[in-house]
Structure formats: C-alpha cells, structure tokens
Amino acid sequence: MDYRRLGRTDIKVSSQCLGTMTWGEQNSEAEGHAQMDFAIDKGINFFDTAELYAIPPKRETQGRTERIIGSWFKARGNRDKVVLATKVVGRTEMDWFRKDGSHPKLDARNIEEAVEQSLKNLQTDYIDLYQIHWPDRNTPGFGSNPTRWKDVEPAADEVSIGETLDVMDRLVKSGKVRHIGLSNESAWGTMTFVKEAEMRGVPRVVSIQNAYSLVNRTFEVNLAEVALREDVGLLAYSALAQGYLTGKYRNGALPAGARKTLFDRLQRYEVPGADAAFEAYFKLAEDAGLDPAQMALAFAESRSFMTSVIIGATKIEQLETDIAASELKLSDDVLARIDEIHQLTGNPCP
C-alpha cells in the first residue's frame, strides 16, 4: 500500500480509502466492523463517511453509517490508527438532517449542528477531514463538473463561500476538525475556496472528493491542474462506476444483493454510449489478462493528481479484490490503450 500526503498537511493517507456508505443498509453493523478490521490489516488507514449515509438517503437510515464506525472505535479502541473523513450535506430539500426539520444549507447554524451530531455518532472528539458534500450554490447537476452546461438560477439566500469558510475556521480552531475538504465541486468553486481562504487567513481545503473513473475522466479537464498546483488532491469516488466496471451488470445481469438490483438508482451509468465504453474496457482487460475491476482501480490510483481512491464493497471477497489492485502497476501499453478507448468513447458517465 502506498501512502500519500493529504494536501499540505503532515498527514499521510493510504492510496486507497475505505468507503462506508453501504453500512446500515446493504451491510449490517457486524459486516461493517469486519470490513474495517480487514482494511486496517491490509494497510488502509483512511476511512470516508458522511452524515448522509447510509445510501440511498432515507430518514430511517441517516447517520447509521457513522454510528457503525463509532461503535467500532469504541469496541477496538483504535481511533488513533484511522484518518477519519466525514461530510456535511450541502443545500438540500431533504428535511431530516436538522432537529427542527429545516432544509440544510452551509451556514453556521447548520454546520455546527452537523459536526456535533457527527462527533456523537462517531464516538470521537475530532474529525481529521471535514468535507462539504456538495455546494450550497445551485449548480448544473450533481457533481458540479458537467460536460454540457445548463443555466441555473442562484438561490435567493445563497450562503457565500467566505461565510462557510469562516465557520470551518472556528471548527478547526476549536479542535473538533483538523482539516477541511470539498466534494462534488467545480474548478471555479475549488479555486474560490482556495483564494478566499488565503485572503481571510483561514484554513485551505486539502482535498476534493469527486467522481472519477474510466468512463468519467472529466476531472482532468480543469480540476487536475488545480489539484496539482494548489495541493488539493483528488479523493476519487465511483472509480468502478458503481459496479459497472466490474462486469457484474454485463448483458443486463442483476446479481442478488447488488445496488442496482435493490435500488435501481444507477442511471448515471445507463446513458447512451456507456455500454460501448464498458465493453471496450472489458475487452482490454481480457486481452491484458487483468481483472477489469483491478484494472479500473489501478488506473485511477496511478494518476498524478490522485491522493486516494475510495473503494466500497458489500462483501469481504470484493474488498479483497479491490485492495489487491493497489499492488498492480499497469503497463505503458495498457495505459496507451486506455487513452485510445477514451479518445473514441469520451466521458459517457459524468
């Protein structure tokens, strides 16, 4: 396992990060504990969660994933072995996050209530990386990095990035949060966070958690340069295209217990051009004698702007396959062929 610097901090995180969003819905508490035990044993020191989880978002399961991590910390007594990342929701119409039933936004009242609840759920005194799950401002689509622009109306009560940073600054000074990060953010948003922080003398963001995979390399268009020049490294989610790049949904298959089978909410990967891209990458993996999931993860991990690739699984066997990808180095020929496929298929699943 490789270890990489988190932004400009003195923290080194594993090049793979354990994703947790299935715990409390697809996975039980015991299964979540088993996954954390396994990951730690394999050298992963970085866990990612969110106040939103479990997925899919529901009133009944919100916060359950954090509570599973908290019970593991209490049972194992090893909080110091983990770099822990969680997230506060951005502006949303979901009304079950705050005690008064209001719609969250990224102002002081909401962020302060969110962090206190996360600390309680996680049974810890501090969060290593506190991330904004998505922006407060209205954007053209979830992920904030579209391939086609769509005009949106600004929210009348939009919370400024500067105001949000001031809240985060107070949390860092209090010791409840060590560092801050972004998620589902654009190049404009990321640079605005960086420049506002420098002007205000408050903490800079150290990471950005966006989707990145063989079928969605939009991060490279503008954000990769930001990540490298500003030391705001990528924490990639959906590097396996929510399972599609493993081949498990190939030819319309619906495996028992899989996310698509249970929830039918993977439409981001069911768009024109997606199947052709998947098949091209499957053919490449077959020709190269590689597991397609490991090829996809190894590609993501090999990028110069990558801090850590978030892996998630419902079974230990899947987790074992994913973690083994950290030891795989793709040949120059395979990397060249990946670029050839991308030239033909583009980013069908942004």
| CA distance between the termini of the chain | 28
249 counts as catalytic: no
Mean pLDDT of 159-183: 98
Share of residues in the chain with pLDDT > 90 (%)? 95
Q: What CA–CA distance (Å, rounded) separates 21 from 291?
A: 24
Q: What CA–CA distance (Å, rounded) separates 314 from 55?
A: 12
**pLDDT over threshold 90, residue 141:** no
Q: Report the pLDDT value the prediction gives residue 92, as an integer from 0 to 100.
A: 97
**pLDDT over threshold 90, residue 145:** no
**Each residue of 194-234: pLDDT tens digit?**
999 999 999 999 999 999 999 999 999 999 999 999 999 99
**Each residue of 1-44: pLDDT tens digit?**
999 999 999 999 999 999 999 999 999 999 999 999 999 999 99
Q: Is 156 exposed, middle or buried (0-12, 13-18, 19+ CB in 10 A)?
A: exposed
Q: Report the pLDDT value the prediction gives residue 142, as an integer from 0 to 100.
A: 87
Q: What CA–CA distance (Å, rounded) separates 345 from 331?
A: 21
Type of residue numbered 242: Q
Mean pLDDT of 140-162: 91
Would you say the pTM of this structure is higher than 0.85? yes
Q: Tell me the pLDDT band of 264, cut-offs 50, 70 and 90.
A: confident
Query: Domains in the chain, start-ordered, CATH in brackets?
Result: 3-244+300-330 (3.20.20.100)
Q: Report the pLDDT value the prediction gives residue 147, as an integer from 0 to 100.
A: 87
Dihedral sign (CA 259, 213, 44, 292): positive
Q: Which of 23, 21, 41, 42 is nearest to 32 (CA)?
A: 23
- Secondary structure letter of residue 46 according to DSSP: E
Q: Which of 3, 53, 126, 244 is catalytic?
A: 53
Share of residues in the chain with pLDDT > 70 (%)? 100
Q: Tell me the pLDDT band of 247, cut-offs 50, 70 and 90.
A: very high
Helix and strand numbers, DSSP H then E, in the chain = 11, 10
Mean pLDDT of 332-338: 98
Q: Tell me the pLDDT band of 47, cut-offs 50, 70 and 90.
A: very high
DSSP 220-265: GTTHHHHHHHHT-EEEEE-TTGGGGGGTTTGGG---TT-HHHHH--
